[in-house]
């Protein structure tokens, strides 16, 4: 995912930062605990298309952990 595009995107619910998870092709919002899909390189920023993050995913993405963005 393009880093400039990622810097502009925010969660549509809380307007918080998103973390790109390359292996899952998703954008994660830790505050809301949602994962927005990226399909064919296009982020789908619709809350009804997002899935709930598991506890393990939230811990993996928590601050202080290194990401793969």
The verdict on residue 69 lying in a domain is no
Regarding predicted confidence, which is higher, 33 or 2?
33
pLDDT in the model for residue 65: 60
Q: Total domain count for the chain?
A: 1
Query: Is 52 a domain residue?
Result: yes
Question: How many other CB atoms are found less than 10 A from the CB of residue 28?
Answer: 24
Q: What's the predicted TM-score (pTM) here?
A: 0.83
Per-residue pLDDT tens over the stretch 24-69: 999 999 999 999 999 999 999 999 999 999 999 888 877 766 555 4
In a domain, 55, yes or no: yes
Question: CB under 8 Å to 29, separation ≥6 — which residues?
Answer: 11, 13, 14, 16, 17, 18, 35, 36, 50
């Amino acid at each position: 995912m393009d880093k400039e595009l990622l810097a502009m995107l925010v969660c549509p619910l809380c307007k918080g930062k998103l973390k790109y998870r390359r292996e899952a092709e998703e954008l994660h919002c830790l505050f809301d605990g949602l994962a927005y899909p990226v399909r064919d390189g296009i982020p789908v920023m619709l809350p009804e298309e997002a899935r709930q993050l598991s506890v393990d995913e939230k811990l993996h993405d928590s601050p202080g952990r290194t990401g793969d963005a």
